Structure 1
Amino acid sequence: MQKLITVVKYSLSFALVAGPSLLMAQSVESSSSTASAASEVDRGDSSLGAARLEEVVVTAQRRGEDLQSVPISISAVTASMADAMGIEGIQDVAIAAPAVNFGTTASGSNIRIRGVGASGSATDESANAIYIDGVYQSAAPALALPLNNIERIEVLKGPQGTLFGRNSTGGVIQVITRDPPEDPTLNLSVGYGNYETLETQAYMGSGITDELSVDLAIYSSDQNEGWGENLATGEDVYDGSSFSGRSKLLWMPGSRTKVTLAASYIDMDPLGSQGGNIFPGQRTVSAGGVAGSTYPGFFNIDHNSSDRKTVEQNQYSAKIEHDLDWAQLVSITSYSNTDFDFDWDNDGGRAFIAALEVFNSVEAITQELQLLSSDSSSIQWAAGLFYLNGVNSLDPLLVRGLSQGSPTASTELVSESDTDSYAVYGQATAPVFTDTNLTIGLRYTEDDRSLDSTVTTPTGLVLQVDDSENDTKLTWRLSLDHQLTVDHMVYASFDRGFKSGFYNTTDPFQSPIEPQVIDAYELGFKSELFDNRLRLNAAAFYYDYQDMQVRTGTPTGGVEILNAASSTITGVDIELVANPVQNLTLQGALSYLDADYDKFLNAPFFEPNPGGGQVQTFGDASGNDIVQVSDWAASLAGNYEIPINYGSIRLSSAVYYNSGYALDVQNRIEQGDYTLFNMSMAWVSPSDALEIRAWGRNLLDTHYRSTANSSALADIYFPGAPRTYGVTVSLRLL
């Protein structure tokens, strides 16, 4: 905590280089009259002349609304905010929204919002739905995507079981990208950083006719030096590359109709999910005369095979919006195909015990129809239909290991899980008293799932598994909000959300995983103070969380996913944005969670074996902390612009603190508290056409573990990024 306090002091001191520290707030507090202080600001007092906060428009209820009028806890991040904070991808969103925790696993990503998440397996969907321009992202391996050409990010906290029903148990992350511009636009940037990292971005767009415009956004990053080394092979680890391209075509055939076609391509060698290392003091399994490996260093590994992963995705979508006068009709159609291939040394050491070779494909088709009331309607309502066809296949998954002394024997698994999901939903908000609104929403979902698997053992034995399941769920939203004044609103809500069940395609003999359900109760407060120079929002909540889907290891080093009985989560979120003095913006957020397993009997526990590997037992995890959920998380960011004779200097920093979290259900291994500090300084030309920016991320070089996987073979963790720094030059040519 002392380190956090020190960093906060540094952060504020650099952000306030040319201005008095929070002078406006101090003046208001010391004044005998808030109104008097406000009037001084309105008269343009030079010491208090801060700009008012801009209105933030969000689409949390499927229509554009002022953030402060929506009775949902929302963190909104604009493109400039993301750039200033060092947010490069979805995995960095926690810097702006501490209620979010993004964990990297060997095969996917586990996103938790207020402690609610899923298994993080590539065979699974996220419990917190991600949408890009309204298109649902179902493939877990592709969720750690780079961000380029964004307009804003919206983090909706709490179950969104009505308007965003697909697996929105803990919340929704919406990424909204820019629409193609009418005027010719060309922006370029090139950056170079440590670990021999070259990053380039380009955005170009223009109107073609009065009705038609198009754009293209390209992002490329190559990190040629790894964070660490594989001591067994001498190769770098935690290096890689990323390329993404996205194009949108906007057609306005008339004043009532808008058609947006989008295509995107992603090709990544993810850095964070490579390798995987054992904990200090542990030893991996010995076999075939080869001794088990010991801890090689935080970013090093000691694997007898290379660990490489690739993710390739193609996605296409069409969005049609048509004004019917009395309502707006919206159709969103999408198709995506994601291929995820990886090789991984499952035992984490040099002995040849278990190595995985996986070829995973996720294919999804979605269709959504929305009917939204007109803005002039006294009752604001939305209704819709949603369909998803998803195919998750392993073709094949190979497990190489020792069988009768042979290091080449393998088990081959070919497995396919198909999902057809149908949903119908509706939500309406109506005034019930003066300045008081009641919102009621319902959604009915039906999921049809099937599994078809073939397992071929090293002895040639062929095993078949065919199964099917059907689940139906009714979810809802009930909220009441009251506008105390123009700038102060309170609300109370009761929501039910659920995450669909699924088949563990890596273990077809496991019983189907049942849906997880959450009932959420929330009280919230939204306000703008000091003549709209301070925005302060807060929420307190209670979650009743049933049939949690939990990922654990197996005696053979595989992945098992359980429904871990029940748990309770209570907590508080606080967020503020302030313009205390001219050219200075401060943002702060705090998240507190009390998250325990209420009942988790016969949970898989693992104890390190002094001779190597681990021994599996079963115990009672009731009362233990939920994996990857911290009690406290907080962030503070400052952005300050200093006008100079030729252009301006822009200073930005962000500090993030996490109190630590358990890494296994036993709470035997854990990540302690840690602090991340990002900072940048840029010179911007008078015309804003040229920017030269020096930046640093994790400048304290904090070592922290993103996630870990416990099995009978080893405890294997995946590290967060070390200190990185560099220079970026940006040109706005048109």
Structure 2
Amino acid sequence: MLALLANRAAAQADTQTGAPASEGGGDSATFSTEESSLPENADSAAQEPPAEQLPSIGLGDEPPPPVEKSGRSAPVSRMVEEVIVTAQKREEALMSVPISVQAFSPEALEARGVSDQMGLAKIVPGMDVGSQAGFSTVFIRGVGTDAWLTADPSVAAYVDGVYYSFTPSVIQEFGAVKRVEVLKGPQGTLFGRNAVGGAINVITKDPDFFNSETQIETGYQSFNTYKNRLYTNLPLTDNFAVNLSAFYNSGDSYLEGSTSAGKPLFREIGSGVRAKVRWAPLDDLDMKFAFMRTHGQINGAMPSNLDPSPLGRLLGVQPADKYETHVDERLYLDTDSTVYSGEILKNFDWLDVKIIGSDQHHEAPYNYDFDGSIRPLVSFDIPVHYGNIQEAELQLLSNQGTPGSDWLTVTGGVFFYHNQQGFDPIKLTVANLDPRKLSAAGINLPLGLSDALENAFGPGSFLGGLLDNLGIPSPGVPFYSISNVALVETKSLSEYLQITAKLTDWVSLTLGGRYQSEERGVKESKTRVQVLDLPQPLTVIDWKKGRDGVQPEPLSSTTKGFKPKVALDFHPFDDDTLIYASWQKALKAHAYNAFAIYLRPAYVKPENTTAYEVGLKTTLFDQTTRLSTAAFWYDISDLQTQFVSLLNGGAVSFENAGNARSRGIDFDLTSLLFPSLLNGVAMTLNGAYIDAIYTSYPHGSGYNKTTKIFSSNNDYTGNRQVRTPKWSGSLALTKTWGFDMGSLEIGANYYYNSGFFYTASNDPDYEQPAYHTVGAHISFHYDPWDMGVKVFGENLSETFYTNGLLVTDFGPNYAVAPPRVVGVVLDWKF
């Protein structure tokens, strides 16, 4: 998603950051401000802003004058560019937006060593991005969810205004980005649907009508990994253009020596292509259409059971090494995503109208070794896992022609969303035990499943007779499996409105709200038994009710509600200092886990968040330093969470965690260090303190800290929330030198995480301890050829840490993060 085909031309004499630094520094090294870089109303087609910042509508038939390169590259760091954001559905300067948002240009991302969404956690304080069992989890400021199975993320992901909710497809590489925005805190009014923790907004490059360009990037790094990217833009007429971005990656797993089913791990391959067409037949009409296709072929969620439970050890599970593990399943994970999307922007004299739509088809078949070992105990095979999504949004945006536009800004819209996703089927294989002898083996199943198996395999049954004739196959060759069809369907419609009124020259009031009606239910949930190669499985349970805890629930429900927002922002001084305060509510709809082997499909109630925030944005030291900081307090009721156990439904179960609270403070600082003394030195420093606890969680499910056996009705009140470090932060430094023929950049970055728990029980055996990582790069750009080379290293300290955890009855299955990675990248633009 975020693969970088970076523009390495730091030699432009006039960039978004303002004039390049002179040899002696001084005023030429300052940041640009919104007054100098952005019109008052960026959405109005009547304006003629720089084409790099706003859509090229109303520019006329003449192309903009070419940008001339200076004879000497300007030693201005790529980390300090001013970025325009769409955090409020309209383009505004980052420092003028009264919400917590961090935004990055592709150059800044490359300078920080970030190439995908997973890397954002290293440069956004208080953010955690994890992956387990093939699914992604994102937490911001302690707000997120690990209820990823047929549920939605709490941090919404957008690409060009299109909402992505299928969790296996959220974390991916993709090229030619214009910028990446991370919105912190609830975005219940404008981004709405289930964005209780925040949003990640990726904006890719639009086709350009006037400039033809091609960028090629190729690289080689540790573990025999090749990465290749291409971007090309082709203007066909003065109002019709197309662009194409593509990538192809291939590499060995960094879990060297690991095996699945006794064989070496697959070589991992990722590829993708995005084609965009842009047509502006009129000065006030801009239309964009895109096609995206990505494919991934990897070893799946390779589990590392580092510390087997007593049950796991009893059954012969041995601890895995940190970077080497062996499982009996031949693991795989194939992801395919095909997305068609479009955007139409029409500028009327008094209103801008934008329509965004998409049709998404995602598939992610995979399998998972539940015990994470070479023992043939429990495994899941998911040959069909898909999500089909259709969505449409109508946005109504005031412009300079709107009555009262000198003091009033209005943003409104309607959003429709439809999604059908799930498994058809998902198969559970439990060793090769005769189901009639489970009790004798010490495995006591709940009554519902025991009765079902007795009926299916009991005396006089066809399957029972078949087993008697066949006997028990040799170990490791399962002769039956339990499968489940688990499909969930969602229909959501919401309307939103936000109005900002300029009360005085230095005080503005924002009022907003969103009404959401979301119907979600279990489309199908059945439990079946497949014996050997019989042509048809036997349906033993067809679920007709869900469950909230132990109570029956309908298999469909509707969440409705209006959630308001109130904010005040102040400009009390003559400079560009912004102070803001906000109060808002956000809603995450109810959810079902239709994957239930022997218990009813699990239902969780809607999650509600009330958020308070105060913030400050300013520039310091003759505008050489940019600072954003905010303090926040979130109260969350009915927090949605999940846990995994064979003894509670057969796999994943959902529950509401009662009430939770997250409070803290974070900051982000970017600075040109002593420009009058140290030409071309830049620093970014950020950090977060988060105090996130469960204020009421009296009936929590989880694993006993001593026996590691699943149990219910645990009291987790007062425990720290999962995946939320108390302290986190990063520091990055770059030094840029300009020469007659190019520029040289040296950079280093440091990330610290104080550690966190993976489970609400706060069991230290399921904890990620404090850790830090160090990275560095050296890059040189040769201006005459517009060609660059970069040598880089990531996790140079060789720190062992993890990206995710799935706790099972057999122990903790960790997703291990990569060790040290070094590589070289070549790029060429022409």
Normalised by the length of structure 2, the TM-score is 0.80
Q: How many angstroms does 1:576 deviate by? A: 0.7
| Residue 353 in structure 1 maps to residue 377 in structure 2 | yes
Partner Cα distance (1:657, 1:723) in 2: 16
- Equivalent position of 2:761 in the other structure: 666
- Equivalent position of 2:68 in the other structure: none
Task: Evaluate the alpha carbon distance shift between residue 503 and residue 229 of structure 1 in structure 2; reply closer, same or farther with a 3 A threshold.
Answer: farther
SS, match of residue 591 in structure 2: coil
> Would the aligned equivalents of 1:541 and 1:571 in 2 still touch at CA under 8 Å?
yes
Task: Evaluate the alpha carbon distance shift between residue 121 and residue 87 of structure 1 in structure 2; reply closer, same or farther with a 3 A threshold.
Answer: same
- Equivalent position of 1:374 in the other structure: 399
- Equivalent position of 2:438 in the other structure: none
Q: How many angstroms does 1:281 deviate by? A: 6.5
Partner Cα distance (1:391, 1:47) in 2: 57
- Equivalent position of 1:621 in the other structure: 716
Offset from partner CA, 1:104-138 (integer Å, 9 cap, x none): 01031010111111225241211111110000011
| Residue 329 in structure 1 maps to residue 353 in structure 2 | yes
Partner Cα distance (1:603, 1:533) in 2: 50
Q: After superposition, where does 1:40-59 map in structure 2 within 5 Å?
A: 46=24, 48=26, 51-54=29-32, 55-59=82-86
Partner Cα distance (2:298, 2:160) in 1: 23
Q: How many angstroms does 1:283 deviate by? A: 6.1
SS, match of residue 347 in structure 1: coil
Partner Cα distance (1:276, 1:684) in 2: 41
> Would the aligned equivalents of 2:525 and 2:601 in 1 still touch at CA under 8 Å?
no
Task: Identify which of 482, 496, 499 aligns with 2:588.
Answer: 499
| Residue 551 in structure 1 maps to residue 575 in structure 2 | no
Offset from partner CA, 1:589-642 (integer Å, 9 cap, x none): 1111000111112222324788xx745464211111111110011011122211
Partner Cα distance (2:213, 2:268) in 1: 30
Task: Evaluate the alpha carbon distance shift between residue 696 and residue 43 of structure 1 in structure 2; reply closer, same or farther with a 3 A threshold.
Answer: closer
- Equivalent position of 2:822 in the other structure: 725
Offset from partner CA, 1:415-448 (integer Å, 9 cap, x none): 2111000001100000123310000001000011
Task: Return the letter of the residue paired with 1:382.
Answer: T
> Would the aligned equivalents of 1:566 and 1:600 in 2 still touch at CA under 8 Å?
yes
- Equivalent position of 2:796 in the other structure: 699
| Residue 596 in structure 1 maps to residue 687 in structure 2 | no
SS, match of residue 228 in structure 1: coil
- Equivalent position of 1:456 in the other structure: 528
| Residue 513 in structure 1 maps to residue 604 in structure 2 | yes
- Equivalent position of 2:335 in the other structure: 311
SS, match of residue 784 in structure 2: coil
> Would the aligned equivalents of 2:595 and 2:601 in 1 still touch at CA under 8 Å?
no
> Would the aligned equivalents of 1:196 and 1:224 in 2 still touch at CA under 8 Å?
yes
Q: How many angstroms does 1:254 deviate by? A: 0.5
Q: After superposition, where does 1:343-422 map in structure 2 within 5 Å?
A: 343-358=367-382, 359-375=384-400, 377=405, 378-401=407-430, 402-404=432-434, 407-422=478-493
- Equivalent position of 2:304 in the other structure: 277
Task: Return the letter of the residue paired with 1:650.
Answer: E
- Equivalent position of 1:338 in the other structure: 362
- Equivalent position of 2:548 in the other structure: none
- Equivalent position of 2:74 in the other structure: none
Offset from partner CA, 1:318-372 (integer Å, 9 cap, x none): 1000001111000001010000111111111233221101121011000100100
Task: Evaluate the alpha carbon distance shift between residue 250 and residue 279 of structure 1 in structure 2; reply closer, same or farther with a 3 A threshold.
Answer: same
| Residue 489 in structure 1 maps to residue 489 in structure 2 | no
Q: How many angstroms does 1:308 deviate by? A: 1.2
Task: Evaluate the alpha carbon distance shift between residue 624 and residue 705 of structure 1 in structure 2; reply closer, same or farther with a 3 A threshold.
Answer: same
Task: Return the letter of the residue paired with 2:294.
Answer: I
Partner Cα distance (1:422, 1:627) in 2: 31
Task: Evaluate the alpha carbon distance shift between residue 321 and residue 295 of structure 1 in structure 2; reply closer, same or farther with a 3 A threshold.
Answer: same
Partner Cα distance (1:419, 1:646) in 2: 57
Q: Report which of the two structures shows the higher radius of gyration computed on alpha carbons.
A: 2
- Equivalent position of 1:116 in the other structure: 143
Offset from partner CA, 1:227-271 (integer Å, 9 cap, x none): 233356444458522111111101001000000001111111356
Partner Cα distance (2:704, 2:638) in 1: 26
> Would the aligned equivalents of 1:122 and 1:141 in 2 still touch at CA under 8 Å?
no
Unaligned stretches of 5+ residues in structure 1: 1-40
> Would the aligned equivalents of 2:181 and 2:201 in 1 still touch at CA under 8 Å?
yes
| Residue 262 in structure 1 maps to residue 286 in structure 2 | no
- Equivalent position of 2:156 in the other structure: 129
> Would the aligned equivalents of 2:252 and 2:266 in 1 still touch at CA under 8 Å?
no
Partner Cα distance (1:122, 1:448) in 2: 18
Task: Return the letter of the residue paired with 2:642.
Answer: R
Task: Return the letter of the residue paired with 1:658.
Answer: N
Moved more, 118-127 or 441-450: 118-127
- Equivalent position of 2:54 in the other structure: none
Task: Identify which of 262, 275, 278 aligns with 1:250.
Answer: 278
> Would the aligned equivalents of 1:322 and 1:328 in 2 still touch at CA under 8 Å?
yes
Moved more, 536-545 or 99-108: 99-108
SS, match of residue 121 in structure 2: helix
Offset from partner CA, 1:161-209 (integer Å, 9 cap, x none): 1110011101111000111123221110110111000100000111011
Task: Return the letter of the residue paired with 1:506.
Answer: F
- Equivalent position of 2:251 in the other structure: 223
Offset from partner CA, 1:280-339 (integer Å, 9 cap, x none): 47566378xxx5222121122231112211111000101000001111000001010000
Offset from partner CA, 1:672-706 (integer Å, 9 cap, x none): 11111221111110236111111111111111012
Partner Cα distance (2:363, 2:23) in 1: 59
- Equivalent position of 2:658 in the other structure: 565
SS, match of residue 457 in structure 1: strand
Partner Cα distance (1:708, 1:530) in 2: 45
SS, match of residue 364 in structure 2: strand
> Would the aligned equivalents of 2:594 and 2:602 in 1 still touch at CA under 8 Å?
no
Partner Cα distance (1:129, 1:457) in 2: 37
Partner Cα distance (1:542, 1:434) in 2: 29
Moved more, 42-51 or 557-566: 42-51
Identity %: 26
| Residue 94 in structure 1 maps to residue 121 in structure 2 | yes
- Equivalent position of 1:294 in the other structure: 318
- Equivalent position of 1:13 in the other structure: none
SS, match of residue 484 in structure 1: coil
SS, match of residue 592 in structure 2: coil
Q: How many angstroms does 1:211 deviate by? A: 1.3
- Equivalent position of 1:678 in the other structure: 775
Q: How many angstroms does 1:555 deviate by? A: 3.6
Task: Identify which of 424, 432, 455 aligns with 2:503.
Answer: 432
Moved more, 617-626 or 223-232: 223-232
> Would the aligned equivalents of 1:284 and 1:294 in 2 still touch at CA under 8 Å?
no
Partner Cα distance (1:431, 1:469) in 2: 41
Partner Cα distance (1:251, 1:387) in 2: 25
Task: Evaluate the alpha carbon distance shift between residue 176 and residue 284 of structure 1 in structure 2; reply closer, same or farther with a 3 A threshold.
Answer: farther
Question: Greater strand share, 1 or 2?
Answer: 1
Task: Evaluate the alpha carbon distance shift between residue 497 and residue 637 of structure 1 in structure 2; reply closer, same or farther with a 3 A threshold.
Answer: same
Task: Identify which of 133, 137, 147 aligns with 2:174.
Answer: 147
SS, match of residue 426 in structure 1: strand
Task: Evaluate the alpha carbon distance shift between residue 225 and residue 163 of structure 1 in structure 2; reply closer, same or farther with a 3 A threshold.
Answer: closer
Partner Cα distance (1:238, 1:540) in 2: 46
- Equivalent position of 1:587 in the other structure: 684
Task: Evaluate the alpha carbon distance shift between residue 216 and residue 284 of structure 1 in structure 2; reply closer, same or farther with a 3 A threshold.
Answer: farther
Unaligned stretches of 5+ residues in structure 2: 1-18, 33-81, 436-471, 473-477, 532-537, 545-554
Task: Return the letter of the residue paired with 2:434.
Answer: Q
Normalised by the length of structure 1, the TM-score is 0.90
> Would the aligned equivalents of 2:260 and 2:330 in 1 still touch at CA under 8 Å?
no
Partner Cα distance (1:553, 1:74) in 2: 34
Task: Return the letter of the residue paired with 2:412.
Answer: A
Task: Return the letter of the residue paired with 2:540.
Answer: V
